[in-house]
Chains A and B, each alone.
Chain A
Amino acid sequence: MAAALPAPRWLLAGAAALLWACCGSAATDGIQDQAEHFFRSGHTNNWAVLVCTSRFWFNYRHVANTLSVYRSVKRLGIPDSHIVLMLADDMACNPRNPKPATVFSHKNMELNVYGDDVEVDYRSYEVTVENFLRVLTGRIPPSTPRSKRLLSDDRSNILIYMTGHGGNGFLKFQDSEEITNVELADAFEQMWQKRRYNELLFIIDTCQGASMYERFYSPNIMALASSQVGEDSLSHQPDLGIGVHLMDRYTFYVLEFLEEIHPASQTNMNDLFQVCPRSLCVSTPGHRTDLFQRDPQNVLITDFFGSVRKVEITTQTIPLDPNLGGLETRAPNDEMATEPLKYAEQLPVAQIIHQKPKQKDWHPPGGFILGLWALIIMVFFKTYGIKHMKYIF
């Protein structure tokens, strides 16, 4: 009897300790899960293709849209070498810009999104449907530099953002050509065939934007659009100093949402779908997730907008024998007195001022002069008659 009494208390204490230990291990398991969460997405690098398809001063807002997304994506970690930025780039130095070398995205000129470290890869007339499709499919002429290529592999998550003027089933490029939703879907299919992406997020901010993602049929694509078919995407706010509208509504609210994201945040895609309800945006944003394999609840915003690297600790080393390799250790040199290096003469002013005028080669008169003289001779003979010809020749 006496022995039985302490036993239950001891048992109770033991049970309590066991429970507490279980809770403790469950808590650490939770943290472990959080850390392993990184690996769930299966991508190792991030790319972004940001396209602004319009030019001219009154389309200021499209350039501001694209540059704002570019700023956010850079802030969250994607480096310039992994961003392909296509802009007409005729805003900052436009003669109508009251503040040259700037592009503002908030009224009262609060935020300059142009800055001095913008790296535009395709500018001005290089933004064409052909170049865009070449970037996506990889069929680029061999002379193209590395910064203009999309060098993604099968473990890349790609963000594609397009803005401009669009219609039902097409998107207008620079007022002269258009890309249809069928071509875009085919381009994505060719990317999938060659495994040029792991997952793709396609965001489009144009009128009737939802028609552009209707025809997609490749796996692992998630698409967002600012308006449904038959609706127009509206712009947000004009600035009276600059004189044009500065941003589109959808992108404005997406950007407000992205301002709260930092590289370690756990916000998922469902929150992005709720951005800009009809009351704020006037148009109805749409999204498409049926081609995407993961549940949007599990997809982090930073999976596409940021570049969070997967990391593993190095636990092993390869033992090396320093004596075998014949390593000649150079004695540490002190600073050798070398003559200072200087640049070659870029502009030899003295030579230019004192040079003699170059003898220009004689060229026969060009088309205009010839035409003018032919006209004069014709008029002469018409008035005075052909019989005077023998005095000339």
Chain B
Amino acid sequence: MAADAAGAEPAAGEKERGKRAALSFAAVALVLGLPLWWKTTETYRASLPYAGISALGSLRFQLTVPVSVVFAKGTLPGAQQRRLPLADTREEEILLNRKPSVTSCYEMTYRSATATEQAALTMATVQEADAALLLLQEDLLGSLTVYVIPETSPLLPQGIGVYIGKHRSAVMRGTQGPGDVLAAISARVQQIVQAMSFTTDSITTALSDRVPMDQLGTDTRRPFKSSLGYEITFSLLNPDPKSHDVHWDIEAAVNSYVQPFLDKLGSVANFSVDSQILYYAVLGVSPRFDKASSSFILSALSLPHVINPVEARLGSSATSLYPVLNFLLYVPERVHSPLYIQDKDGAAVGTNAFHSPRWGGIMVYNIDHPAPDKAPLLLRVDVDMVRVMEVFLAQLRLLFGISQVPLPEEFLLESPGNNGLTDWELDRLLWTRTVENIATVSTTLTSLAQLLDKIGNIVIKDDVASEVYHAVASAQTAMLELASGHLGSAFQASKEAVTSSERAFFDPSLLHLLYFPDDQKFAIYIPLFLPMAVPILLSLVKILREAKQSKKEPMKTD
């Protein structure tokens, strides 16, 4: 009895202690354990400017071109002369997917020519005038100047109404008749400005990601996408070294003809040029012998199969990740000389060259062989680099997307000469590249934000977040600069934005490897939490039941 009583007493005390212990276990588990587990299993996600990214996603551009129209003496009647200097703004909406997206704004300033400009415009030839006028201009990237000369002026040749020079100026004939001269020439001025800056088509091409594929032409597939650098390789293919000893002075040719072109494009991308000579490299196709012209023919249908067997041997730098442009000069074997390329109508091609979109170009160089009895065993050949570089430069321009805008007959375009590129062609390239860069940044950042939103357990490090902020800020700067007409700084800002956004998107740490389906989540957590949770829960249930019973007890005894 006493033992029972003694046993009952500590039992009650123990029960009390046991209750308190169970409650404290539950309290620690809830108050300390759950927050600790939550904190230690969450991933570090730095904050991103989601608002800025979605604003960028709506992508409304305004492209401003500052144009000054200069009237020479004798083009305007007195009354209209007195209205100058005059400023005007013309805006146009370019529709994309039937929604207005790009506004092109032409800021025209009309003024009359100064004395030095007038002197330049009365020079003997229009090329000299162009050179003299260049010295008088500010020559900002993206700006244009149109000079209007009297209709009867001898500066422009007969039948030519407009001359577009090597730099950023054009010379056009004014109209003679009565009425408002400004209104009369405005259509022609608009045509000139569009040819020298951008057209609707070129902007639509630059935004090609957002346009359905069937509306794009082959022109979009040919040029390389804007990239931070390019690698250009010139290769000489000599399949018959026992007959031909071919030498080419590629270094001098590159320095004279290709390097000025690349220097002009220096702000657009980094270029690296290399060259090589490949021996015993044959074309994948054997040419047909044509009796009529006693020469060998490569037809247009067999050209696509020429490139592949050679490409394996061309090689590319293992360290650079830039796209490669290959230019091949093929000297046919003695038994297959001369070798001509035919187009699909069967006519021989003048340049004897062809190119492949986004890859490069191939030119076939035929050698004159002396009469067989006088021929030495090994014929030494010095390649005429000028002829070769003319073709390669043309192909290089096409592969960069510098194509001609179709213009009416009376337009005279100055050829770019040894520089390979006129200033206004560079401007055209910069306009489309800037728009393309900003569109790329917007798509990249939008998809990155969507990805990070959708997958909750990707870690977002601080440097990724800072790159995203930098990209958004640069893209906004670029759009502001485009709207105010500063093409140079807009392009630089867009390039920075693209670099930052690519670095953020392709950061190696953003790998989504952890996909847990729900049943796997249960499988992981149940063995950890269940052994601990079951005793606590059961004891809590017991405590509650006893508390309820003890509440009923006093009522019962009462």
Question: What residues of chain A have their CB less than 8 Å away from a CB belonging to chain B?
Answer: 32, 35, 38-39, 42, 44-45, 77, 79-81, 129-130, 133-134, 137-141, 145-147, 149, 151, 153-155, 180, 182-183, 186, 190, 193-195, 263-264, 293, 307-322, 324-330, 332
On chain B, the residues within 8 Å of A190 by CB distance are 447, 451
Contact A328 B252 (CB under 8 A): yes
- The CA of A87 and the CA of B351, in the complex, are separated in Å by 46
**Interface of chain B residues 348 through 378 with chain A (CB within 8 A):** 349-351, 353-359, 361, 363
- The CA of A39 and the CA of B318, in the complex, are separated in Å by 31
Contact B511 A130 (CB under 8 A): yes
What is the total number of residues of chain B having a CB less than 8 Å from a CB of chain A? 77
The 7 residue pairs across chains A and B that have the minimum distance between CB atoms: A325-B256, A193-B447, A77-B308, A317-B390, A314-B353, A311-B303, A79-B312
Residue from B253, B304, B420 within 8 A of A318 (CB atoms): B420
Q: Take A151-B321, A318-B393 as given contacts and tell me if A311 and B512 are in contact as well, using a CB distance cutoff of 8 Å.
A: no
Asked if B341 is at the interface (CB within 8 A of a chain A CB), the reply is: yes
Contact A313 B356 (CB under 8 A): no
Contact A324 B418 (CB under 8 A): yes
Question: What residues of chain B have their CB less than 8 Å away from a CB belonging to chain A?
Answer: 209, 213, 218, 221-222, 225, 247, 249, 252-253, 256-257, 300-301, 303-305, 307-308, 311-312, 316-321, 323, 341, 343-344, 349-351, 353-359, 361, 363, 380, 382, 385-386, 389-391, 393-395, 397-398, 415-418, 420, 443-444, 447, 450-451, 455, 505-513, 515, 517
Distance to closest chain A CB from B496 (angstroms): 19
Contact A327 B213 (CB under 8 A): no
On chain B, the residues within 8 Å of A145 by CB distance are 318-319
Contact B316 A309 (CB under 8 A): no
Contact A146 B359 (CB under 8 A): no
Q: Take A308-B305, A314-B395 as given contacts and tell me if A140 and B316 are in contact as well, using a CB distance cutoff of 8 Å.
A: no
Residue from B361, B390, B509 within 8 A of A319 (CB atoms): B390
- The CA of A139 and the CA of B415, in the complex, are separated in Å by 44
- The CA of A290 and the CA of B109, in the complex, are separated in Å by 55
- The CA of A313 and the CA of B356, in the complex, are separated in Å by 9
On chain A, the residues within 8 Å of B509 by CB distance are 139
Contact A194 B444 (CB under 8 A): yes
Q: Take A133-B513, A145-B318, A318-B390 as given contacts and tell me if A312 and B222 are in contact as well, using a CB distance cutoff of 8 Å.
A: yes
Distance to closest chain A CB from B415 (angstroms): 6
On chain A, the residues within 8 Å of B389 by CB distance are 320
Chain A: CB-nearest residue to B382: A332
Contact A147 B318 (CB under 8 A): yes
Distance to closest chain A CB from B443 (angstroms): 7
- The CA of A145 and the CA of B321, in the complex, are separated in Å by 9
Q: Take A134-B508, A309-B359 as given contacts and tell me if A81 and B386 are in contact as well, using a CB distance cutoff of 8 Å.
A: no
A-B contacts besides A44-B357, A183-B515, 10 pairs, CB < 8 Å: A44-B356, A79-B312, A133-B512, A151-B323, A153-B358, A155-B358, A183-B513, A309-B359, A317-B390, A327-B253
On chain B, the residues within 8 Å of A317 by CB distance are 351, 390-391, 393-394
On chain A, the residues within 8 Å of B222 by CB distance are 312
Residue from B359, B455, B506 within 8 A of A139 (CB atoms): B506
On chain B, the residues within 8 Å of A193 by CB distance are 443-444, 447, 450-451
Distance to closest chain A CB from B241 (angstroms): 15
Contact A154 B225 (CB under 8 A): yes
Contact A316 B394 (CB under 8 A): yes
- The CA of A138 and the CA of B448, in the complex, are separated in Å by 13
- The CA of A133 and the CA of B514, in the complex, are separated in Å by 12
On chain A, the residues within 8 Å of B301 by CB distance are 35
On chain A, the residues within 8 Å of B319 by CB distance are 145-146
Contact A194 B505 (CB under 8 A): yes
Contact B508 A140 (CB under 8 A): yes
- The CA of A133 and the CA of B508, in the complex, are separated in Å by 11
- The CA of A141 and the CA of B447, in the complex, are separated in Å by 21
Interface of A is mostly: loop
Interface of B is mostly: mixed
Contact B351 A309 (CB under 8 A): no
Contact B221 A183 (CB under 8 A): no
Q: Provide 28 A-B residue pairs closer than 8 Å at the C-beta atoms, listed in order of the A residue.
A: A35-B301, A44-B358, A77-B305, A130-B511, A133-B513, A138-B506, A139-B506, A139-B507, A146-B316, A149-B321, A193-B444, A193-B447, A193-B451, A309-B304, A309-B356, A311-B354, A312-B357, A313-B341, A313-B349, A313-B353, A314-B351, A314-B354, A316-B394, A318-B420, A320-B386, A320-B418, A325-B418, A332-B382
Residue from A146, A307, A320, A321 within 8 A of B393 (CB atoms): A320
On chain B, the residues within 8 Å of A44 by CB distance are 221, 356-359
Contact B418 A137 (CB under 8 A): no
- The CA of A253 and the CA of B420, in the complex, are separated in Å by 54
Contact B357 A310 (CB under 8 A): yes
On chain A, the residues within 8 Å of B213 by CB distance are 42, 293
Contact A318 B416 (CB under 8 A): yes
Contact A263 B257 (CB under 8 A): no
On chain A, the residues within 8 Å of B253 by CB distance are 327
Distance to closest chain A CB from B218 (angstroms): 6
On chain B, the residues within 8 Å of A194 by CB distance are 444, 447, 505
On chain A, the residues within 8 Å of B350 by CB distance are 315
Contact B304 A38 (CB under 8 A): yes
- The CA of A312 and the CA of B343, in the complex, are separated in Å by 9
Distance to closest chain B CB from A329 (angstroms): 7
Chain B: CB-nearest residue to A154: B225
- The CA of A310 and the CA of B363, in the complex, are separated in Å by 16
On chain B, the residues within 8 Å of A154 by CB distance are 209, 225
- The CA of A200 and the CA of B182, in the complex, are separated in Å by 55
Q: Take A146-B316, A313-B343 as given contacts and tell me if A153 and B225 are in contact as well, using a CB distance cutoff of 8 Å.
A: yes
Residue from A77, A146, A183, A312 within 8 A of B354 (CB atoms): A312
- The CA of A153 and the CA of B502, in the complex, are separated in Å by 14
Contact A330 B312 (CB under 8 A): no
Q: Take A45-B359, A309-B359, A315-B350 as given contacts and tell me if A327 and B209 are in contact as well, using a CB distance cutoff of 8 Å.
A: no
Contact B447 A80 (CB under 8 A): no
- The CA of A314 and the CA of B420, in the complex, are separated in Å by 16
Contact A319 B415 (CB under 8 A): yes
Contact B355 A186 (CB under 8 A): no
Contact B321 A129 (CB under 8 A): no
Contact A134 B511 (CB under 8 A): yes
Contact A315 B356 (CB under 8 A): no
- The CA of A79 and the CA of B315, in the complex, are separated in Å by 10
On chain A, the residues within 8 Å of B341 by CB distance are 313
- The CA of A318 and the CA of B422, in the complex, are separated in Å by 12
Contact A133 B354 (CB under 8 A): no
Distance to closest chain A CB from B78 (angstroms): 44
- The CA of A139 and the CA of B458, in the complex, are separated in Å by 13
- The CA of A308 and the CA of B354, in the complex, are separated in Å by 15
On chain A, the residues within 8 Å of B512 by CB distance are 133, 183, 186
